[in-house]
């Protein structure tokens, strides 16, 4: 029987549930896997530390915390800080589940650094240190021959990261659309049923599904950091939650609920991400949309019903959305070239072609154009127009740059109308080879 010493840093809902799972699965682990899990350390933020190399009664620790006391009474070793705890807990595996810090991932980031440096396999349910330290912690784990795992950070433990790591090694991910925060959807559903916002929030807190600070849920931070985590890990693009354009649910009131009922139901709090095909940049947003298939197209339909013109900026897998926007009556669609204000040019070339192919409304390439040749490329691809601001405004000579963009647009449009030559995989000379004198072969005698 192999005994595995584990330490729990954080002993709230997640930590306590994990400890109960160890107890419930004890016989199964012994009989089917030859393993026995022994909790040798528990660290909390408000109820002290407990370290015992011979094992801690986690059920007793849970009772002590429930009564508001310190678990230090269970400790066989003196421990004054998290640094002391990590040094003396004698754990082979560390489970970390303290409250998330959206800003910089601390102090969890330092805790995981220390644990990996001390030779512990490190597992976290905390999104903060993964978003803010994924590449560093992964490298540290590799150098020390240990594992850094974080499957429960997104989708409640659904093995999305293991799926990509082991089953889809060659897949290139271009976009993500998903409902990433269940708490907000619970609150919206309760509000649709007649609860006030405060009543719905209290109900969510009562059943234990909110973040430690519920503002993380209702202001969109939880969905934003999950989205940033998916982009960072699955797409390999360092991305922070501060870069995500967020719209929370705090401002939703009775009038919004009434209007939603007229539209057939209240929208979900959706997290969506758009990515360029070069896999070097990403734009993300968190917002409320209609829950029916098509998402944005259904949400936009309400605007169009009131006679409102609407253009949607998108990229990546949202090429599909372009057709849906046409069907509900949008006058134009606006795929982005690259992130707004970056001047990085047309980074969505292949994806732009999927939007343009069979487009029934004008397509205006917007955001990220930096030089006139970018505009020419967009028009050559078949776009009807471009929108340019920063590239002109920040040029050394804005007037000259505006004229240059105008020439680029004309050149691109003329090139599109003229029809480009076919592309070939191999060289194909335009001049006939017949009658061309051949040079002597140096390998052959004269």
Sequence spans of domains, the chain: 2-159, 160-291, 305-420
Q: What pLDDT score does 218 carry?
A: 86
Which CATH number applies to 2-159? Answer: 3.40.50.720
**Alpha helix locations (H) across 127-270?**
127-143, 160-162, 182-192, 197-206, 215-218, 221-234, 254-262
Considering only the top CATH level, what class is 160-291? alpha beta
Q: What pLDDT score does 362 carry?
A: 78
d(CA 70, CA 319): 56
Element (DSSP H or E) covering residue 245? strand 245-246
d(CA 149, CA 109): 13
Kindly list the distances between the CA atom of residue 272 and the CA atoms of 323, 340, 342, 346, in Å, as whole numbers in the listed order. 18, 17, 21, 21
255 and 294 Cβ atoms separated by less than 8 Å: no
Identify each DSSP E strand in 44-125 by its residue range.
49-51, 93-96, 121-124
> Could you count the other beta carbons within 10 Å of the beta carbon of residue 267?
21
Phi, psi of 42 (to 5 degrees): -135, 125
Q: What pLDDT score does 344 carry?
A: 80
Equal CATH topology for 2-159 and 305-420? no
pLDDT tens per residue, the chain (446 residues)?
Answer: 899 999 999 999 899 999 999 999 999 999 999 999 999 999 999 999 999 999 999 999 999 999 999 999 999 999 999 999 999 999 999 999 999 999 999 999 999 999 999 999 999 999 999 999 999 999 999 999 999 999 999 887 788 898 888 888 777 777 777 777 778 878 887 887 788 888 888 888 888 778 778 888 888 888 889 888 998 998 888 889 888 877 788 877 777 776 666 554 545 554 444 444 343 444 555 545 444 434 444 444 444 443 434 344 443 444 555 666 666 566 777 777 777 777 888 776 666 776 777 677 778 887 778 899 988 988 888 888 888 888 888 888 989 999 999 999 999 899 888 888 877 777 767 776 666 666 666 666 65
Cross-strand partners of 275? 282
Q: What pLDDT score does 119 carry?
A: 96
CATH of 305-420, picked from 3.20.20.70, 3.40.718.10, 3.40.30.10, 3.90.1170.50, is 3.20.20.70
Q: What pLDDT score does 255 carry?
A: 75
Q: What pLDDT score does 77 carry?
A: 93
Phi, psi of 292 (to 5 degrees): -75, 160
Who contacts 115 (Cβ-Cβ below 8 Å, separation ≥6)? Answer: 86, 94, 96, 122
């Amino acid at each position: 029987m192999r005994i595995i010493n584990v330490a729990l840093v954080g002993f709230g809902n997640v930590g306590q549930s994990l400890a109960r799972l160890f107890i419930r699965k004890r016989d199964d682990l012994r009989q089917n896997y030859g393993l026995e899990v022994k909790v040798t350390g528990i660290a909390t933020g408000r109820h002290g530390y407990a370290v015992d190399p011979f094992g801690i009664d986690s059920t007793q620790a849970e009772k002590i915390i429930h009564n508001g006391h310190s678990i230090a009474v269970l400790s066989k070793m003196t421990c004054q800080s998290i640094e002391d705890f990590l040094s003396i807990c004698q754990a082979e595996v560390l489970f970390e589940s303290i409250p998330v810090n959206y800003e910089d991932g601390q102090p969890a980031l330092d805790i995981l650094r220390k644990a990996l440096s001390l030779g512990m396999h490190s597992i976290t349910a905390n999104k903060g240190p993964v978003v803010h330290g994924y590449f560093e912690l992964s490298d540290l784990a590799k150098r020390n021959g240990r594992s850094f795992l974080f499957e429960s950070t997104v989708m409640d433990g659904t093995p999305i990261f293991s799926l990509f790591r082991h089953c889809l090694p060659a897949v290139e991910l271009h976009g993500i659309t998903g409902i990433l925060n269940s708490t907000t959807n619970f609150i919206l559903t309760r509000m649709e049923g007649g609860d006030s916002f405060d009543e719905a929030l209290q109900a969510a807190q009562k059943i234990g599904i909110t973040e430690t600070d519920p503002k993380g849920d209702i202001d969109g931070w939880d969905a934003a950091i999950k989205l940033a985590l998916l982009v960072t890990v699955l797409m390999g693009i360092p991305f922070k939650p501060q870069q995500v354009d967020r719209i929370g649910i705090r401002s939703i009131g009775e009038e919004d609920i009434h209007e939603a009922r007229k539209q057939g139901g209240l929208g979900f709090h959706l997290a969506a991400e758009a990515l360029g095909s070069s896999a070097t940049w990403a734009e993300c947003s968190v917002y409320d949309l209609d829950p029916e298939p098509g998402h944005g197209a259904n949400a936009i339909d309400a605007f169009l019903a009131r006679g409102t013109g609407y253009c949607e900026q998108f990229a990546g897998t949202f090429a599909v959305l372009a057709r849906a926007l046409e069907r509900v009556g949008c006058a134009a669609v606006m795929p982005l070239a690259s992130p707004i204000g970056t001047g990085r040019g047309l980074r969505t070339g292949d994806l732009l072609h999927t939007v343009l192919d069979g487009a029934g409304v004008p397509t205006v390439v917007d955001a990220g154009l930096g030089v006139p040749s970018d505009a020419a490329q967009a028009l050559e691809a078949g776009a009807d127009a471009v929108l340019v601001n920063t590239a002109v405004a920040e040029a050394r000579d804005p007037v000259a740059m505006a004229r240059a963009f105008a020439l680029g647009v004309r050149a691109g449009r003329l090139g599109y109308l003229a029809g480009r030559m076919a592309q070939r995989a191999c060289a194909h000379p335009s001049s006939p080879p017949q009658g061309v004198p051949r040079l002597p072969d140096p390998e052959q005698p004269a």
